[in-house]
Chains A and B, each alone.
Chain A
Amino acid sequence: MKILVPLKRVADPDNANKVKVNGGKLETTGLEWKPNPFDEYAVETALRLTENGANPKARLGEVVVVSFGPKEVETTLRGALATGADKAIRVDATDEQLDGDVVARALKSLVEKEKPDLVLLGKQAVDGDSNQVGQLLAEYLGWPQATFAGSIKSEDDTKLVVGREVDGGTINLEVTLPAVVSVDLRIVAPTSVSSKHAPAHKYAEGVRFAALMAIMAAKKKPLTEVKLADLASDAALKITYSSFELPPARKAGIKVKSVPELVEKLKSEAKVL
């Protein structure tokens, strides 16, 4: 199975240095970048799906990672190569040239060239929180989609059974490849992905880390560059962001000393009981 994984770098949400707003504009200087966590989970899922159960060092298939951005996003791509992806593509673009729709249209062209059986990506990037690239891409390709996957079973390389995490439970879908699947948090639990390993196989929780040797070896793996204009000829953005602001601050609360005091406050002050 050949899997394409779009991978975005985002400002590290856990970094103490948070996104700032200055005169209605977002300020990103001084932020640390890291791969979008959901996309990292997609890379891990792709590696699990293509792992040779009998010989985990060998791949049964190919994992191609792609990222949109300036030269610096190659760090993110090399990171994915170091954990086991086979090749990487950087689509040369600046953030100002991109919205979810442009990315989806460019990915469509890339899919037509690369011909993967599956596009796996995070359900959303944790900066724009837009949750749309996978669905848009599926529609542009005329492929089926399974969004918010918390589990994937691959019995053969023609179909996937996907457990989608939805409001109030889990929807199970069987999708015939090629397809687009977006992943949710729990896809990296030890038994969320089952493919070529023995049924009792358990993965380590979370995403795999790259060994030093693999980081060195990743420098030699293929990384090609494509121009955005060659993939998406119409560069018009469908959404314009005019300004940003910080959320209204909550009024500082108080600390109560005891449970009876808490109940009293809820009753007479907040009037919520």
Chain B
Amino acid sequence: MANILVVAEMHDGKVRKSTHSAITFAKNAGGTFSILVLGQGAKAAAAEVTGYGAQKVLVCDDAYLAAPTAETHAPTIAAAAKGFDVVAFTASSFGKDVAPRVAAKLGAGYAPDISGVKEEGGKLVYRRPVFAGNAFATCSINTPVQVVSARQSEFAPAEPSGGSSPLEDVALAAKDPAAERVKFLGLNAAQSARPDLGEAKVIVSGGRALKEKFAEVLDPLANMLGAAVGASRAACDAGYAPAELQVGQTGRVVAPKLYFAIGISGAIQHLAGMKGSKTIVAINKDPDAPIFQVADYGLVADLFTAVPELVTELKKATG
């Protein structure tokens, strides 16, 4: 039975919702778990995760951890990991950045992007996608302490389970000299009133076919559905959509309830990022586009007339 340390991710003085996927991972793995909240303002933020069934919530609240850099965070995470069998992150950009550094400090093996976990013969085995999701591998880690990151699209956010985990302060570990050679200049946050791609229940994604009309065509549909907007790599590369909207092997991996692929041909790269969606709708004028092979509902049509019509029909249908 593994004892797991879930590392929470903080942003703007709060625990990021992405953390709840790592909590679900810990619950699915069986055994027991605790949560580590570290950052400036961690003490106030920690209250948010005390109701999820953790044995305890470890807190390191220090101004030194104000910026989310791997060099500042890794030493304290590695020190807090003492006594735990598994250190679990969510495979967000924060998790992917810092987890290997923690693994190296602990002499631990690191398995990223876990999509499934089970216990077999007293040890944990992990399932993870390889080759852009064209195959799934089963692997195990051979070191006494293990580090993993859990895919947000595969582990649904944990729901509060009641109770209240006790808080316990942990000290800031000795600073990594490498941290002195990194200066955090700032985060240019993407400004959007829409839900985050990782958390949205509905995603409306567009491809290069939308050209300069990307927002003009997709926004009304996204607004109508309260959806997040995504994009293919081709649309991002061409400058029709900002880079952070990219869905794919090399962009965000998403699994909403409903995914619209509009003017997206469906390169493997893109499919790898959205195949896990529950219901997929494709609108494309090319009847042979590969996207139709994964779509539950395909509509062969010119998107410039079909999407506005869709908005009108949805208004009628949902009143």
Quick check: A255 and B299 within 8 Å, CB to CB? yes
Tell me which residues across on chain B come within 8 A of A267, comparing CB atoms.
Answer: 317
In the complex, A244 Cα to B131 Cα: how many Å?
A: 11
Quick check: A18 and B134 within 8 Å, CB to CB? yes
Quick check: B104 and A263 within 8 Å, CB to CB? no
Shortest beta-carbon distance from B194 to chain A in Å: 11
Tell me which residues across on chain B come within 8 A of A129, comparing CB atoms.
Answer: 112-113, 128-132, 249
Quick check: B97 and A263 within 8 Å, CB to CB? no
**Can you identify 13 A-B contacts, CB atoms within 8 angstroms?**
A128-B130, A138-B178, A139-B100, A139-B105, A142-B176, A147-B70, A166-B97, A175-B183, A243-B138, A245-B136, A250-B275, A270-B296, A273-B318
In the complex, A136 Cα to B74 Cα: how many Å?
A: 12
**Interface residues, chain B, with chain A CB atoms under 8 Å away:** 18, 68-71, 74, 92-94, 96-101, 103-105, 108-113, 125, 128-143, 176-179, 181-190, 196, 198, 202, 233, 236-237, 243-244, 249-250, 252, 257-258, 268-269, 275, 278-281, 287, 292-301, 306, 309-310, 313-314, 316-318
Contact flags A255-266 to B (C-beta < 8 A → 1, else 0):
110111011111
Shortest beta-carbon distance from B147 to chain A in Å: 10
Tell me which residues across on chain B come within 8 A of A126, comparing CB atoms.
Answer: 131-132, 249
- In the complex, A226 has a CB within 8 A of chain B: no
Tell me which residues across on chain B come within 8 A of A11, comparing CB atoms.
Answer: 131
- Kindly name the residue among B142, B202, B280 whose own CB sees the greatest number of chain A CB atoms within 10 A: B142
Candidates B110, B184, B294, B306; contact of A100 at CB < 8 Å: B110
Question: How many residue pairs between the two chains, A and B, have CB atoms under 8 Å in the bound complex?
Answer: 264
In the complex, A150 Cα to B129 Cα: how many Å?
A: 24
Candidates B92, B97, B183; contact of A174 at CB < 8 Å: B183
In the complex, A254 Cα to B310 Cα: how many Å?
A: 18
Tell me which residues across on chain A come within 8 A of B128, comparing CB atoms.
Answer: 129
In the complex, A242 Cα to B244 Cα: how many Å?
A: 35
Quick check: B250 and A185 within 8 Å, CB to CB? yes
Quick check: B187 and A244 within 8 Å, CB to CB? no
Contact flags A1-30 to B (C-beta < 8 A → 1, else 0):
000000000010110001101000010000
Within residues 176 to 228 of chain A, which ones have a CB less than 8 A from any CB in chain B? 176, 179, 184-186, 189
Candidates A124, A144, A251, A264; contact of B182 at CB < 8 Å: A144
Q: Which of the four size classes fits the interface of chain A?
A: 35 or more
Candidates A169, A170, A256; contact of B297 at CB < 8 Å: A256
Quick check: B130 and A244 within 8 Å, CB to CB? yes
- In the complex, A104 has a CB within 8 A of chain B: yes
| A188, closest chain B residue (CB) | B237
Quick check: B178 and A142 within 8 Å, CB to CB? yes
- In the complex, A127 has a CB within 8 A of chain B: yes
In the complex, A140 Cα to B74 Cα: how many Å?
A: 13
| A184, closest chain B residue (CB) | B250
Quick check: B244 and A165 within 8 Å, CB to CB? yes
In the complex, A123 Cα to B250 Cα: how many Å?
A: 9
- Kindly name the residue among B92, B134, B189, B293 whose own CB sees the greatest number of chain A CB atoms within 10 A: B134
Quick check: B244 and A169 within 8 Å, CB to CB? yes
Kindly list 7 other residue pairs between chains A and B, CB separation below 8 angstroms, not including A138-B178, A239-B110, A244-B135: A124-B250, A132-B99, A139-B74, A144-B179, A168-B244, A241-B137, A250-B280
Shortest beta-carbon distance from B55 to chain A in Å: 27
